[in-house]
């Protein structure tokens, strides 16, 4: 199929018709030219293919499929290979079901624990979100099925999601909210990008030319098409001009007619329409050329995969006295509705219709040492005394109690945000009562985002299971009884309470205006800067074994910002069990003229170690690892100076560190004026060459050279005099030099400096 030739054979009406959907999930065909319709479907932790009765929030059933761990869980794996496996499984399902594009991954940053869709998102950290989602994209697309990285951009709340305006400064967008999209385009080569519902700095994302054309295509080299989030289009004509190629779902023909009219009236260039059609067909051709409906889709095999992967995502948060793993002969009281009916995915458009689910109790059916009590209800929050009493008696009669708790569906979902970070009161009451009855109490959590844990001190162990997919129950059993050594790490900070979160004061916005006041200080970037205690830090997670770090090496003590730095470290399994450690590398700028976080994740590797085994883990860092986004250059920039290279088991458990120096090869060109202050002038060798004599003169004429001497009054020391001078603008020389230097002469000197 020669796409350009096809487009040249189309009427304007035919071209416009291809720019919006046929229905909820299909694009339009043009039979006359042999162009088929394609189907797109939601994901990304499974396939949500609706055959009929389509709706975009998953209210109606879709075909039976497999729910793999959702993004909140898979992000906790810190494992690129695991994400790739999820992608491949979803890609196979899409091929089997003749779906050309899977609508995911969703890579928005977790700005607040309150975002209703956090369970679909990866992390508060842009590097982690970028690395993992890009692996998933590569996995899906290795099957010749496209992905649609979403929701572009700055879509970190559900509150007023279709009208709110995310007001975010340039540096914050570049450092925090864009990198996962940038990586999806540059590294992942995503076939499509889905624009978000919200406005970004005043303009709807669906008609934001700066975003969809200048940045996405111009800078990042995106060669696919942009699809609207379902119903995100406001002004279709502006959207086409901005670079929004496909509107979904169908617009009933209204917007197609608008596009035709706009071209006829000369408001829209027909070339913009041609380009959009070309992009859509070029991407679909990639699928058509490799469509393989005979691809096997083995649901049972994918269920086993879901179980294996879910176990790798679980985060062991606490394990006092090594109470876990449980032993085969131990009498265990399993408590909680979620132990029989696990919550393993979130509500809305990513909801998978599972062909089967596996609860913890299902997985324990052959274990004779188990008793069960429901403990709480999920319909009401009110503690149920009878259910609690039953649970307490089961716990009292057992060696250990395992409570499976978390957030019910209504607490977090697409479409609205949470209003607090608490667990249901009935679960909190249950945990407290059971922990009193049995000191060996373990809590397993199924939830899509952080919760407050007022009960944490009263229990011995906690496992964060997130929303682990349909096999989460089997995976929970595997981790609890030690068939799998837990190796997940938190992809987000757990604050003690909601009020600690950096976006707390303004999250959700005023009316439709959501200003991202905290800037780059999202998640641990904020908590670390504030030296605040958190419940559990970013990157944290325990294991049934222990690890030691040694021998941190860097390839050079000083590099230029154009060089690469290689870092390696040895990690040893010092315990008795095999296990996996997530080695994390953080970079911090020791001194900077801009506000920067204490440390930022710039590398991670998951490494499997047998007991006693040592492996060397290596990282290669480039300029980006040290850079911040400079709003003057509109580019990444490294300031010359010292940087810490830290190796940690979490953002708060730094095991080894070194300081290296990076020299910048970029000179920031500064234009001075007579209002430039001496502090800035003195930093410029160019300026000092011209001004040094003048500065001495000023000091003398103002008596500052006497400061601190016996003759001078004690009121002003030399340091004080110099400090005062630092903040004086150059123009003050004209006023303070007693007529020796005029304003015009200063202007002349400034020109000399600027032109030197
Ligand atoms: C969601 C998207 C989803 C689309 C189609 C929208 O409401 O925001 O993530 O892909 O619906 O279901």
Identify the DSSP state of 341: S
- Residue 59 is predicted with a pLDDT of 65
For 447, list phi and psi in degrees, rounded to 5. Answer: -160, 160
Q: Who's near 203: CB < 8 A, 6+ residues apart? A: 210
Question: What is the token pair recorded at 285?
Answer: 């051709």
Return the number of other C-beta atoms located less than 10 Å from residue 205's C-beta: 28
Pocket flag, ligand 1, residue 42 (CB < 6 Å): yes
- H/E segment holding residue 401: strand 400-406
- Residue 725 is predicted with a pLDDT of 84
**Alpha-carbon distance 596 to 589, whole Å?**
7
**Ligand 1 centroid, distance to 221 Cα (angstroms):** 25
Tell me what percent of the residues of the chain surpass a pLDDT of 70: 97
Burial class (CB in 10 A: 0-12, 13-18, 19+), 156: buried
Regions in the chain scoring below 50 on pLDDT:
none
- Residue 740 is predicted with a pLDDT of 82
Pocket flag, ligand 1, residue 40 (CB < 6 Å): no
CB 3 within 8 A of CB 278: yes
DSSP string, 280-313: HHHHHHHHHTT--TT----HHHHHHHHHHHHHHH
Measured on CA atoms in the order 379, 384, 386, 391, is the torsion positive or negative? Answer: positive
**Alpha-carbon distance 99 to 340, whole Å?**
33
List pLDDT tens digits, range 648-701.
999 999 999 999 999 999 988 889 999 999 999 988 888 999 988 877 777 776
H helix intervals, 198-253: 209, 236-242
Among all chains, which residue has been given the structure tokens 């299909």?
Answer: 26
Q: Which atom of ligand 1 lies nearest, measured to the CA of 161?
A: 8
Q: Which atom of ligand 1 lies nearest, measured to the CA of 56?
A: 12
DSSP string, 586-599: EEEESS-SS---S-
User: Where in the sequence numbering do the catalytic residues fall?
Assistant: 229
Packing angle, helices 80-96 and 299-313, rounded to 10: 160
Among all chains, which residue has been given the structure tokens 């499984």?
Answer: 89
CA 479 to chain CA mean position, Å: 26
Pocket flag, ligand 1, residue 117 (CB < 6 Å): no
* Mean pLDDT computed over every residue of the chain: 95
**Alpha-carbon distance 307 to 299, whole Å?**
12
Beta strands in 508-652 (DSSP E): 513-515, 547-554, 558-560, 565-573, 579-589, 600-609, 614-621, 628-630, 635-637, 641-650
What is the layout of strands, in order, in the sheet containing 641-650? 558-560, 653-663, 641-650, 579-589, 600-609
Q: Which atom of ligand 1 lies nearest, measured to the CA of 150?
A: 9
Residue minimizing CA distance to atom 9 of ligand 1? 349
CB 620 within 8 A of CB 566: yes
- Residue 711 is predicted with a pLDDT of 54
Phi-psi category of residue 252: left, alpha or beta, with phi > 0 → left and psi -120 to 50 → alpha: left
**Ligand 1 centroid, distance to 643 Cα (angstroms):** 42
Pocket flag, ligand 1, residue 349 (CB < 6 Å): yes
Length of the chain measured in residues: 756
List the Cα angle 461/526/648 in 5-degree steps. Answer: 55
**Alpha-carbon distance 392 to 390, whole Å?**
5
**Ligand 1 centroid, distance to 657 Cα (angstroms):** 43
Among all chains, which residue has been given the structure tokens 């399902």?
Answer: 93
Among all chains, which residue has been given the structure tokens 């060397």?
Answer: 616
- Residue 670 is predicted with a pLDDT of 84
**Alpha-carbon distance 182 to 702, whole Å?**
54
**Alpha-carbon distance 212 to 260, whole Å?**
21
Half-sphere exposure of 263 (CA within 13 A, CB side): 18
Pocket flag, ligand 1, residue 540 (CB < 6 Å): no
**Alpha-carbon distance 137 to 597, whole Å?**
29
**Ligand 1 centroid, distance to 311 Cα (angstroms):** 28
List the Cα angle 502/503/507 in 5-degree steps. Answer: 165
Q: Which of 128, 116, 184 is nearest to 153 (CA)?
A: 184
Question: What is the token pair recorded at 53?
Answer: 């009765």
Measured on CA atoms in the order 228, 230, 232, 235, is the torsion positive or negative? Answer: positive
List pLDDT tens digits, range 705-732.
676 666 555 567 778 878 888 899 999 8
**Alpha-carbon distance 17 to 23, whole Å?**
12
Query: Strand, helix or coil at 714?
Result: coil
**Ligand 1 centroid, distance to 156 Cα (angstroms):** 14
Pocket flag, ligand 1, residue 428 (CB < 6 Å): no
Pocket flag, ligand 1, residue 120 (CB < 6 Å): no
């Amino acid at each position: 199929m020669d796409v350009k030739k096809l487009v040249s054979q189309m009427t304007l009406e035919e071209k416009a018709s291809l720019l919006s959907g046929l229905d909820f999930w299909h694009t339009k065909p043009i039979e006359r030219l042999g162009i088929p319709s394609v189907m797109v479907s939601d994901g990304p932790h499974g396939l949500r293919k609706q055959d009929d009765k389509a709706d975009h929030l998953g209210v109606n059933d879709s075909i039976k499929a497999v729910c793999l761990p959702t993004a909140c869980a898979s992000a906790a794996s810190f494992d690129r290979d695991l994400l790739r496996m999820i992608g491949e499984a979803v890609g196979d399902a899409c091929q089997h079901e003749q779906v050309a594009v899977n609508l995911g991954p969703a890579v928005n940053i977790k700005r607040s624990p309150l975002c209703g869709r956090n369970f679909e998102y990866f992390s508060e950290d842009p590097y982690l979100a970028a690395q993992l989602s890009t692996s998933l994209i590569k996995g899906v697309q290795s099957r010749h099925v496209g992905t649609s990285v979403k929701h572009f951009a700055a879509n970190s709340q559900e509150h007023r999601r279709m009208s709110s305006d995310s007001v975010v400064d340039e540096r914050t967008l570049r450092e925090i909210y864009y990198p996962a999209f940038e990586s999806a385009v540059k590294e992942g080569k995503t076939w499509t990008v889905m624009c978000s519902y919200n406005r970004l700095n005043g303009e709807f994302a669906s008609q934001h030319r700066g975003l969809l054309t200048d940045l996405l295509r111009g800078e990042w080299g995106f060669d696919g098409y942009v699809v609207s989030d379902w119903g995100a289009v406001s002004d279709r004509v502006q959207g086409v001009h901005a670079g929004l190629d496909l509107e979904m779902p169908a617009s009933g023909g209204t917007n197609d007619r608008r596009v035709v009219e706009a071209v006829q009236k000369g408001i829209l260039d027909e070339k913009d329409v041609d380009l959009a059609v070309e992009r859509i067909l070029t991407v679909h051709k990639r699928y058509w050329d490799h469509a393989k409906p005979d691809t096997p889709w083995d649901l049972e095999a994918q269920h086993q995969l879901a179980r294996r992967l879910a176990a790798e995502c679980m985060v062991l948060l606490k394990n006092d006295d090594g109470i876990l793993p449980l032993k085969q002969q131990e009498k265990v009281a399993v408590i909680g509705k979620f132990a029989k009916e696990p919550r393993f995915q979130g509500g809305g458009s990513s909801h998978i219709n599972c062909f089967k689910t596996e609860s913890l109790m299902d997985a324990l059916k052959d274990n004779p040492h188990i008793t069960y009590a429901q403990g709480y209800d999920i319909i009401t929050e009110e503690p149920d005394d009878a259910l609690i009493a039953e649970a307490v008696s089961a716990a009292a009669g057992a060696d250990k109690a395992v409570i499976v708790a978390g957030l019910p569906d209504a607490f977090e979902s697409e479409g609205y945000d949470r209003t607090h970070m608490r667990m249901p009161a009935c679960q909190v009451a249950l945990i407290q009562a059971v922990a009193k009855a049995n000191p060996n109490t373990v809590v397993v959590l199924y939830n899509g985002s952080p919760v407050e844990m007022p009960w944490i001190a009263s229990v011995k162990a906690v496992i964060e299971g997130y929303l682990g997919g349909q096999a989460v129950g089997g995976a929970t059993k595997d981790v609890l009884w030690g068939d799998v050594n837990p190796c997940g790490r938190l992809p987000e900070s757990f604050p003690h309470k909601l009020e600690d979160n950096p976006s707390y004061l303004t999250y959700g916005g005023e009316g439709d205006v959501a200003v991202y006041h905290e800037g780059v200080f999202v998640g641990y970037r904020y908590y670390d800067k504030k030296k605040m205690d958190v419940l559990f830090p970013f990157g944290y997670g325990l294991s049934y074994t222990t690890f030691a770090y040694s021998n941190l090496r860097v390839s050079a003590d000083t590099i230029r910002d154009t060089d690469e730095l290689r870092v390696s470290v040895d990690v040893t399994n010092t315990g008795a069990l095999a296990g996996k450690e997530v080695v994390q590398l953080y970079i911090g700028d020791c001194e900077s003229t801009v506000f920067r976080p204490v440390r930022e994740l710039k590398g991670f590797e998951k490494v499997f170690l047998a007991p006693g085994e040592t492996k060397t883990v290596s990282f290669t860092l480039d300029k980006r690892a040290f850079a911040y986004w400079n709003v003057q250059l509109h580019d990444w920039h490294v300031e010359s100076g010292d940087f810490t290279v830290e190796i940690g088991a979490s953002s708060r458990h730094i095991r080894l560190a070194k300081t290296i120096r990076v020299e910048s090869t970029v000179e920031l060109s500064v234009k001075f004026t007579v209002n430039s202050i001496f502090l800035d002038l003195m930093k410029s060798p160019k300026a000092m060459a011209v001004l040094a004599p003048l500065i001495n003169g000023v000091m003398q004429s103002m008596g500052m050279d006497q400061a601190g001497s016996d003759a001078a009054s004690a009121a002003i020391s030399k340091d004080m005099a110099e400090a005062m001078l630092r903040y004086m603008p150059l123009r003050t020389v004209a006023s303070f030099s007693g007529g020796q230097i005029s304003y015009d002469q200063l202007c002349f000197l400034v020109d000399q400096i600027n032109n030197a």
